[in-house]
Structure 1
Amino acid sequence: MKRRNRSLARRSIGLAGLPNVTAALATTALISTALAGCASGTGAASSSSNSESEPVSVFAAASLTDVLPQLEDAFTRSHPGAESVEFTENLAGSQTLVQHINEGAQPDVLITADAASIQALDTPDAFVNQGILATNELVLAVPSDSDVTTSGEFLQLLSANPDTRVATCAPSVPCGRATETFLEAQNLNLATVSEEADVRSVLSKVIAGEVDGGFVYATDAQSAGDSVKSVQLPDAPSNKYPILTSTDAATEAQDFGAWLRGEQAQEILLDAGFETTSQRP
Structure 2
Amino acid sequence: MRNPLITVMAAAALLLSACGTPAAGTDPTPSTPGGQDGAAIHFAAAASLTDVAPELTRAYAEETGDTTRIDINLGASSKLVQQANSGQQPDVLITADTQAPEALEDPTAFEPPIDLVSNTLVLAVPATSKITAADQLPEAGAVALCAPAVPCGRAANTYLDHQGFSLNTVSEEDNVRAVLTKVTAGQVDAGFVYATDVAAAGDQVRAIDLTGLDANIYPLLVATDAAEPAQDFARWLQGDAAMKLLNDAGFSAP
Please classify the TM superposition score into its range, dividing by the shorter chain length: 0.7 to 0.9
User: Structure 1: how far apart are the matches of 2:62 and 2:145?
Assistant: 37
Q: Assess if the C-alpha contact under 8 Å between 1:137 and 1:217 holds in 2.
A: yes
**Residue 85 of structure 2 corresponds to which residue in structure 1?**
102
**Residue 104 of structure 2 corresponds to which residue in structure 1?**
121
Residue 165 of structure 1 pairs with residue 142 of structure 2: yes
Task: Report how many residues are paired.
Answer: 221
Shift of 1:106: 2.2
User: Structure 2: how far apart are the matches of 1:189 and 1:205?
Assistant: 20
Aligned pairs for 1:128-143 within 5 A: 128-143=111-126
**Residue 187 of structure 1 corresponds to which residue in structure 2?**
164
Q: Which runs of 5+ in 1 are unaligned?
A: 1-49
| Greater C-alpha radius of gyration | 1
Greater helix fraction, Structure 1 or Structure 2? 1
Q: Which amino acid aligns with 2:153?
A: G
Q: Aligned to 1:156, which of 131, 136, 161?
A: 136
Aligned pairs for 1:171-250 within 5 A: 171-250=148-227
Q: Aligned to 2:42, which of 37, 57, 67?
A: 57
**Residue 75 of structure 1 corresponds to which residue in structure 2?**
60
Shift of 1:51: 4.3
Q: Secondary structure at 1:128's aligned position in 2?
A: coil
Shift of 1:83: 2.9
User: Structure 1: how far apart are the matches of 2:146 and 2:46?
Assistant: 13
Shift of 1:140: 0.4
Q: Assess if the C-alpha contact under 8 Å between 2:117 and 2:251 holds in 1.
A: yes
User: Structure 2: how far apart are the matches of 1:95 and 1:197?
Assistant: 9
When the two chains are superposed, the root-mean-square deviation of aligned CA atoms in Å is 1.7
Q: Secondary structure at 1:119's aligned position in 2?
A: helix
Q: Assess if the C-alpha contact under 8 Å between 1:221 and 1:230 holds in 2.
A: yes
Q: Assess if the C-alpha contact under 8 Å between 1:130 and 1:258 holds in 2.
A: no
Q: Are the structure 2 counterparts of residues 130 and 53 from structure 1 closer, same or farther at C-alpha, using a change threshold of 3 Å?
A: farther
**Residue 271 of structure 1 corresponds to which residue in structure 2?**
248
Per-residue Cα deviation, 1:193-246 (whole angstroms, up to 9, x for no partner) = 001110000000000101000000000111000111111111233111111111
Q: Which amino acid aligns with 1:166?
A: V
TM-score by length of 2: 0.83
Shift of 1:157: 5.3
User: Structure 2: how far apart are the matches of 1:57 and 1:139?
Assistant: 30
User: Structure 1: how far apart are the matches of 2:217 and 2:130?
Assistant: 31
User: Structure 1: how far apart are the matches of 2:89 and 2:107?
Assistant: 12
Q: Secondary structure at 2:152's aligned position in 1?
A: helix
Q: Which runs of 5+ in 2 are unaligned?
A: 1-34
Shift of 1:250: 1.1
Deviates more, 1:183-192 or 1:93-102: 183-192
Per-residue Cα deviation, 1:53-109 (whole angstroms, up to 9, x for no partner) = 411111110001001111111111112xx4312111110100101111111112111
Q: Assess if the C-alpha contact under 8 Å between 1:182 and 1:237 holds in 2.
A: no
**Residue 252 of structure 1 corresponds to which residue in structure 2?**
229
Q: Which amino acid aligns with 1:69?
A: P
Shift of 1:150: 2.9
Q: Assess if the C-alpha contact under 8 Å between 1:139 and 1:230 holds in 2.
A: yes
Q: Secondary structure at 2:241's aligned position in 1?
A: helix
Q: Assess if the C-alpha contact under 8 Å between 1:56 and 1:87 holds in 2.
A: yes
